[in-house]
Amino acid sequence: MEKLKIADKTFTSRLFTGTGKFRSSEEMEKALVASGSELVTMALKRVDVKDKEDDILTHLRHEQFNWLPNTSGVRNAKEAVFAAELAREALETNWIKLEIHPDPKYLMPDPVETLKAAEELVKLGFVVLPYIHADPVLCRRLEEVGTQAVMPLGSPIGSNKGLKTDDFLKIIIEQSNVPVVVDAGIGAPSHAAYAMELGADAVLVNTAIAVSDNPEQMAVAFKMAVEAGRMAYESKLGATSNTAKASSPLTEFLAKE
Amino acid sequence: MSFVEQINRYNWQDVQESIAAKSAKDVEIALHATHPTLEDFKALISSAAENYLEEMAQKSHQLTLQRFGKTIQLYAPLYLSNECQNICTYCGFSLDVKIDRKTLTDKEILDEVAVLKSYGYDHVLLVTGEANKTVGLEYFKNAIELIKPFFSHIAMEVQPLNQDEYETLIKLGVNTVLVYQETYNKENYKIHHPKGKKSNFDYRLDTHDRLGRAGIHKMGIGVLIGLEDWRTDSFFAAAHLDYLEKKYWKSNFSISFPRLRPCAGGVELKSVMTDKQLVQLICAYRIFNQEVELSMSTRESETFRNNIIKLGITSISADSKTDPGGYSNPNVNLEQFEIHDKRSTADFIQAIKDQGYEPVFKGWDPVLQ
């Protein structure tokens, strides 16, 4: 399988993972190690970046993991930039998952504030991965201001509903010049495989692994699904059709020529 | 239109009767609704729903798990003062109750903070009575500046304030404000709040609109269960939540369940809520609203609190003291109410873990002001 490159990093695994909602940090660590994930995101509001012994961060100190702090909880561009700078200073990474969802009910990303923050963060030298609606035009605008990837949602965060936005994801994947990471809503390995078959460069999964009865096993299931989907994509899937195509009755006579 | 105007659209008696009229069929519809409405909420809190408690609990558990994961947020109340100019028939701080009165000095506040930090708390709830001259905006500003460096999240449960005062406090670092209406029944409210600024029902009811306009991150609502028919009162709280959520769409919301118990010499209760009914109410709120924070204090017993962890509650206090200075210098003569679950923080953390949940101390960051 092809490796994935985002900014200065190369990834073998195309499964990115979240660190919230687990019953313990030990269980989180086991599951994420088993997932093979090489990029893990953590909410700044949950970790204590000033505490060297923070429980979540301690369990994420593995060679395997690159850290992707996220700005979950901020309500506008100004707070997002402030949060990103704090993360860069404390966690020594210039990667940031930009999340601005001022609506606490459906956690819908604010496109206006996200674009504004992305532009500023890029200028400040961040590698910006913005969480957004599956909006093809917004993806192009973000690419223009210099984000290193785009992270359109499959369905609302934590909803496990799968790729409700697949028609728009297909347009985004077709048009994008930066990696497309499908984020949010992936509730089953089959959803992840589907995203990869469509040509997504990676997926990000959290809730489906964290709240399952056996997170470690579920993490492996997602690992396999992402690999299967990617392999299928690289091998080129056959075209689909609503009718059977056993022969060519209308043009068969030409074969005699 | 503010909620003060909205509430006039409802007639208390009609609401009470419509809840009583809900049938088993209404409950089943509510349990299977994709987006439950206020009518569904009525069905879920009705007596008809008492036969569906296990189903409600299962649904509430699943919805909570999906949204909040296997985590429980911990917080601690910090009583700053028990001075109060109000008479409230049910409250231990009421002006006419003969207890010692105390307002913490800077040093005493910091002594309390030191104890709470040693227990591990990172979310604090500041509590006072209502004594505007001594414990007003200036006192709060000073207290918040003192406390801010030590906590990631600061909540307040103090007298209702004006919008500009809230704006000032939010800038200084207040993240959440809790104001309970006590009861949404205006006539009965007057009986229980005969004297003091609190006797103004409309000013209190308008508080969350002022908070919303001030841009607060989270606001809490609730009724003092027992003052009125709990089903009808809870319906009004849910209607309040529904109104606020639509209008102040950037705010988070929190519901608490302070439950009065009958006691000798205490206020006469209009309805006594059983444990079963409290579980029903908690589950009804969760089914009605997947993202609202449901909060529980140490008023409830050890057994009840252990079992409620999986049922929809997402935020819990532990090891609490309800007297100003109580953590560093306890004095029962200053208490608002006697807590029921007296376990240490360490013991309670273990109880959460035993249920398969992670106790979360830090769930916010000062950067998110």
Mean pLDDT calculated for residue range B316-345:
86
| In-domain check, residue B145 | yes
Kindly state whether residue A245 falls inside one of the protein's structural domains: no
Q: Which residues contact B334 (CB under 8 A, 6 or more apart)?
A: B82, B99, B100, B101, B102, B323, B324, B325, B326
Q: Determine the pLDDT at residue B335.
A: 78
What confidence tier does B263 reach under pLDDT thresholds 50, 70, 90? low
| Chain-chain contact of B353 with A24 (C-beta, under 8 angstroms) | yes
What whole-number distance in Å separates Cα of residue B77 and Cα of residue B65? 26
Mean pLDDT calculated for residue range B9-20:
96
Burial of B136 (0-12, 13-18, 19+ CB in 10 A): middle
pTM of the model: 0.88
Choosing from A50, A97, A105, A245, which is the catalytic residue? A97
Output the pLDDT for position B104: 95
For residue B94, the model assigns a pLDDT of 87
Class of residue A10 by CB neighbours under 10 A (exposed 0-12, middle 13-18, buried 19+): exposed
The answer to whether A45 contacts B65, with C-beta atoms less than 8 Å apart, is: no
pLDDT tens-place string over residues B32-77: 999 999 999 999 999 999 999 999 999 999 999 999 999 999 999 9
Residue of B nearest to A80 (CA): B368
Q: Among A24, A46, A104, whose Cβ lies nearest the Cβ of B362?
A: A46
CA separation, residue B203 to residues A9, A37, B186, B209 (Å): 57, 54, 12, 10
Alpha-carbon distance of B286 to B33, in angstroms, equals 13
Contacts of A47 in chain B (CB under 8 A): 362
Distance from CA of A105 to the nearest CA of B (A): 6
Number of domains in chain B: 1
Q: Within a domain: residue B367? A: no
Structural domain contains residue A256: no
pLDDT of B204 reads 96
Q: Which pLDDT score, from 0 to 100, does residue B170 have? A: 96
Of A23, A86, A207, the CB nearest to B66: A207
CA distance A166 to chain B (A): 22
pLDDT on residue A48: 87
- Pick the residue from chain A with its C-alpha nearest to B362: A46
pLDDT per residue over A32-49, tens digit each?
A: 999 999 999 999 988 888
For chain B, percent of residues with pLDDT exceeding 70: 98
| CA–CA separation, A159 and A178 (whole Å) | 26
pLDDT band at B265 (very low <50, low <70, confident <90, very high): low
Nearest to B159 by CA among B192, B187, B126: B126
Tokens of A68: 């992707």
Residue at A247 is within a domain? no
Look up A78 and say whether it is catalytic. Answer: no
User: What pLDDT score was predicted for residue A55?
Assistant: 87
Band of residue A186 on the pLDDT scale cut at 50, 70, 90: very high
pLDDT of residue A245: 66
- Give B363's contacts in chain A (Cβ within 8 Å): 45-46
Low-confidence winner among A87-91, A151-155, B166-170, B267-271 (lowest mean pLDDT): B267-271
| pLDDT tens digit sequence for A77-86 | 999 999 999 9
What are the Cα distances from residue A32, in Å, to A88, A217, B353?
23, 10, 20
Q: Does B149 touch chain A (CB under 8 A)?
A: no
Domain assignment present for residue A244? The answer is no
* Average pLDDT of span A198-227: 96
Is B357 close to A79, i.e. CB distance below 8 A? no
Q: B-chain residues within 8 Å CB-CB of A78?
A: none
Domain assignment present for B48:
yes
Domain that holds residue A34: 4-239
Q: Let me know if residue A251 belongs to a domain.
A: no
Torsion angle, CA of A234/A236/A241/A244, rounded to 10 degrees?
-130
Task: Indicate whether A254 belongs to any domain.
Answer: no
Question: Among B174, B363, B74, B175, which residue's Cα sits nearest to residue A43?
Answer: B363
- B329 lies within 8 A of chain A by CB: no
Q: Do A103 and B67 touch (CB under 8 A)?
A: no
**What percent of chain A has pLDDT above 70?**
98
Q: Is the CA virtual torsion B242, B245, B247, B252 positive or negative?
A: positive
**Shortest CA distance to B144 belongs to which of B153, B8, B357?**
B153
Continuous segment of H or E residues that includes residue B216: none
- Find the CB nearest B69 among A20, A45, A159: A20
Q: How far is B253 from chain A (nearest CA, A)?
A: 9
- The Cα of B318 is separated from the nearest Cα of chain A by a number of Å equal to 19
Q: What is the CATH number of the domain that holds B190?
A: 3.20.20.70
B369 lies in some domain: no
> Which structural domain range is residue B202 located in?
3-362
Looking at residue A198, what is its pLDDT? 96
- Residues of chain A with Cβ-Cβ distance to B122 below 8 Å are 48
Nearest-10 crossing angle of helices B38-45, B275-288:
160
Helical spans, DSSP H, in B22-154: 24-32, 38-45, 53-68, 106-119, 137-147
Distance CA B369, CA B365 (A): 8
pLDDT reported for residue A257: 63
Residue B36 touches partner A, C-beta closer than 8 Å: no
A248 is a domain residue: no
Is the backbone of residue B177 left (phi > 0), alpha (psi -120 to 50) or beta?
A: beta
Gyration radius from chain A CA atoms = 20
The tokens describing A166, both together, are 């697949």
Structural domain total, chain A: 1
Q: Is the pLDDT of residue A255 over 80?
A: no
Check residues B319 and B91 and name the one with the higher pLDDT. B319
Pairing of strands B71-79, B358-360: parallel
CB atoms within 10 A of CB B246: 9
- A122: domain CATH number is 3.20.20.70
pLDDT one-digit tens code per residue, B127-178: 999 998 999 999 999 999 999 999 999 999 999 999 999 999 999 999 999 9
Using CB atoms, which residue from B70, B252, B291 is nearest to A211? Answer: B70
User: How sure is the predictor about A208, in pLDDT bands with cuts at 50, 70 and 90?
Assistant: very high
Q: Is residue A69 part of a domain?
A: yes
Closest CA to A50 of B178, B150, B148, B213: B150
**Whether B70 and A75 lie within 8 Å, measured CB to CB:** no
Burial class from Cβ neighbours inside 10 Å (0-12, 13-18, 19+) for residue A2 reads exposed
Residues 214..243 of B with a Cβ closer than 8 Å to A: which?
none
pLDDT of residue A52: 80
How far is it, in rounded angstroms, from Cα B359 to Cα B216? 25
Q: Is residue B65 part of a domain?
A: yes
In contact, A209 and A224? CB cutoff 8 Å: no
B335's CB contacts (< 8 A; 6+ apart) are: B92, B99, B321, B322, B323, B326
Task: Check residue A90 and give its pLDDT.
Answer: 87
Average pLDDT, whole number, for chain A? 92
Q: Does any CB of chain B come closer than 8 Å to the CB of residue A5?
A: no
For chain A, what is the total number of helices (H) and then of strands (E)? 9, 10
Chain B residues with CB under 8 Å of A44 CB are 365, 367
